[in-house]
Structure 1
Amino acid sequence: MGGKAFTTNPSPLSTPRMPPDIYYMLRDYYLQLLSSLYTHAATPIEAPRKTSYGDIDVLVALPKSTPISAYSLSKILEAERIFAVCGSPTTSFALPYPNLPNNYVQLDVHLCSFSSFHWQLFHQSHGDLWNLLGTTIRPFGLTPNDAGLHVRIGEIEDLNRKRALLFLTCDPDAVLKFLGLDTDVYKPFESVESMYRYVCRCRYFKEEIYVRSELKANDRKRMAKRELYRAFVDWLPHNAHLVGQQKEKNIRLSRDGVLEESLNRFGKREEYEKRLEEWRKEREELLAKQEGRQKRKADAAELEEYASAWMRWLDCNI
């Protein structure tokens, strides 16, 4: 929530941004507390060189005893207030800001399944890293989200984006290798530029998709809201030499080629063909129903016209 979950309520709370010393102290304290309650608890790796933090994010999975309700957890955390959206796995807690009366720290606790915990932790790490990688691989039909890496089925995508997503894997190392990236990213980047250079090494990277005038609507929104994303768009034109060799390799890549490679690499061809076959069958059935409705309408209109003509004849001849 970026530290704003409690600032828009009818009775808002003050949640000032935290300097690094306060952030790390509280992060470690609440992480230790939550680790005593859940089998898995961790915080995503922070973006490089942040000077302040809006909230604290902790991912948890598998309670050590009975399931813990948000209300029970708020009592354990001694929260002033909680905020949750129905159906969301994230609950925000307003906790006292040290030595600053009437001010609070926002702690976001993300409840994960055991199977998704490591992927979600990886996907949320390094701040805007996955926003940048997501933009990079989108033109090739690849989409990362909270569940893992997906390939989009082009024939389905225009009509049903959700059904077009074919899950490939949620193994972080497998994803990075498929993107042509080093797997040594389980520690903070030394600098913002080192993270930018890492993105440029992605085998699907093309600098032209980051031209301001060519950005998609969602990317323009990210650029407006995300400082590191916006800075990357400005940084790239001055560092085009970093993608020169990669650009020569990318010229041979195509969306169809990436689809074929992903299906083979992750063993998804049978599922892909089944999904596509089911989709085509549904479309054929839907088209047949539409044609049937159109024919019935045409028949009804013809019958109505015949009846009208007959009535006119009767009026003229009786």
Structure 2
Amino acid sequence: MGGNAFRSNLAPSAFPRLPTAVYSALKARIQPLLEELYTHVGVPREAPEKEDHGDLDFVVCLPRRSITNTNTPRVNVPHDIVAAAIGAKHCNPMDGNRTSNFAVPIIQNEWEELGHEAQEVTARMGAGEEGIFYQIDVNVCESEDEWDRRIFVNSYGDLNMILGLITKNAGLHFSNKGLKYPDVPHPPIVLSESFDDILKFFGWSMDEWRKGFETHMACYEWATSTRYFNPSHFRTRGPGIKTRKPDRTMYSGFLEWAGTLSQDRAHTNYTNGEAATGEMPDAREDALDFFGKRPKLVERRAEVRRRELLKASFSGSRVRDWTDLGNFWPGVKKIMDGVRERFGGEENVAIFLDEEGEEKLRGVVLEVQARLEIWPMSTAGVGVGETSKEDIGEKSMEKSNV
């Protein structure tokens, strides 16, 4: 509901719900004003079947240079200029890539010509001395790409939440930053930031999206047209799933609708017209190939395996045992540093270990020990029954085939 951003100086009652006709007229009036300040200005598509509105959200980017009057790039137009342009009386300013809130007074009898005189009168009766206002939010983006993405994800009410739930069930993550491949405990792999490509992968028609949805059901059917939606295995609660909120009626409606779909409908969706296999397509595997990210995952897996091998086979305790150095840790460290130097870094040690095995690495360690002449303390006359210099050299020659 509009007005929540101004609780410190205006009562929520100062921001009445806006009938659709009033909302549309306000958008038509304010958008050209903002277009004089920003290169890109848009309003996300409204939720279908919505009878009234709490506020008006604009998504903008790239201030016009003639407005900022500087060669230094700015993310947002100064707030006082925006407020003056749209006639705002109050402002909650947020610099940079953020959303600022503006309160624009509703002129007396402004709604009369739109057929909502009674609603305006009622709203004024419940407000304070300052009168009633429109809340206009200006969401500033850093780039045109981000602007495109924000327009998309904020359109059609809860549709983005529904898409997020469908992609999560498919093992992927969708947000205003694009599509990602979760790879716990490692960072996710970014599959794509292009919504055109993402929609193409899932089979969601952008042409239908642009045409618009007049009902919640139209949104539901569009979202579930992907072959990666299977109601028979669809989770609506549990780890990582957002809980439904009372005010999210569109999202709640989808959860209930998805739960009532028959197995026949599920089968039709995930085969997508192809020969029935009885198996759900693997979106994670398909996405790696579609977006060309499989080599990245393969390399990551190789790196993880090498790190694990390195931790297990090239540790201080393992090198100590190989070299019979006991608790002479400074000597162990010098030998390990010598091995790293020989291979040109620890990463190459890991590659050698992965390709040649632990026994050959042990031979290299003993060769480096002999070259550095770092011996057990018994060779200096301390201790009994430990390995001699000659034994160390023999072990090195026997064990190493490098």
What range is the shorter-chain TM-score in? 0.7 to 0.9
Q: Please list, as runs of the form range in 1=range in 2, the aligned pairs for 1:67-86 lying within 5 A after superposition.
A: 67=74, 68-84=77-93
- Alpha-carbon separation, structure 1, partners of 2:249 and 2:308: 43
Q: Please list, as runs of the form range in 1=range in 2, the aligned pairs for 1:31-180 lying within 5 A after superposition.
A: 31-65=31-65, 66=68, 67=74, 68-84=77-93, 89-99=98-108, 102-112=131-141, 113-156=143-186, 163-164=187-188, 166-180=189-203
Aligned pair partner of 1:264 in 259, 284, 289: 289
SS in 2 for 1:224: coil
Q: Which moved more, 1:77-86 or 1:108-117?
A: 77-86
Contact kept, 8 Å, 2:104 with 2:136, in 1: the verdict is yes
2:274 aligned with 1:252: no
Aligned pair partner of 1:193 in 212, 217, 226: 217
RMSD over equivalenced CA pairs, Å: 3.3
The corresponding residue for 1:25 is: 25
Post-superposition Cα deviations, 1:178-214, rounded to whole Å, max 9, x if no partner, equal: 11222221132022211111122122213256666x4
The corresponding residue for 2:258 is: 236
Contact kept, 8 Å, 1:56 with 1:106, in 2: the verdict is yes
SS in 2 for 1:105: strand
Contact kept, 8 Å, 1:169 with 1:175, in 2: the verdict is yes
5+ unaligned residues in a row in structure 2: which ranges?
69-73, 109-119, 125-130, 318-326, 328-402
In structure 2, relative to structure 1, the CA distance for the partners of 1:70 and 1:253 (3 Å cut) is farther
Return the offset for 1:107.
1.1
- Alpha-carbon separation, structure 1, partners of 2:135 and 2:32: 17
Contact kept, 8 Å, 2:162 with 2:251, in 1: the verdict is yes
- Alpha-carbon separation, structure 1, partners of 2:157 and 2:144: 23
5+ unaligned residues in a row in structure 1: which ranges?
157-162, 293-298, 300-318
Return the offset for 1:36.
1.6
- Alpha-carbon separation, structure 2, partners of 1:250 and 1:98: 63
In structure 2, relative to structure 1, the CA distance for the partners of 1:35 and 1:282 (3 Å cut) is farther
Return the offset for 1:224.
3.1
The alignment-based identity, stated in percent, is 27
**AA paired with 1:70?**
H
**AA paired with 2:223?**
V
Contact kept, 8 Å, 2:228 with 2:283, in 1: the verdict is no
The corresponding residue for 1:304 is: none
Return the offset for 1:218.
4.5
In structure 2, relative to structure 1, the CA distance for the partners of 1:273 and 1:58 (3 Å cut) is farther
**AA paired with 2:62?**
L
Flag the structure with more relative contact order, 1 or 2, with Cα contacts below 8 A and sequence separation at least 6: 1
2:190 aligned with 1:181: no
- Alpha-carbon separation, structure 1, partners of 2:99 and 2:277: 38
SS in 2 for 1:39: strand
* Higher radius of gyration, 1 or 2: 2
- Alpha-carbon separation, structure 2, partners of 1:95 and 1:261: 49
In structure 2, relative to structure 1, the CA distance for the partners of 1:211 and 1:146 (3 Å cut) is closer
Q: Which moved more, 1:190-199 or 1:147-156?
A: 147-156
Contact kept, 8 Å, 1:132 with 1:229, in 2: the verdict is yes
Contact kept, 8 Å, 1:147 with 1:170, in 2: the verdict is yes
Instruction: Give the TM-score normalised by the residue count of structure 2.
Output: 0.61
Instruction: Give the TM-score normalised by the residue count of structure 1.
Output: 0.75
**Number of residue-to-residue matches in the alignment:** 280
- Alpha-carbon separation, structure 2, partners of 1:126 and 1:201: 17
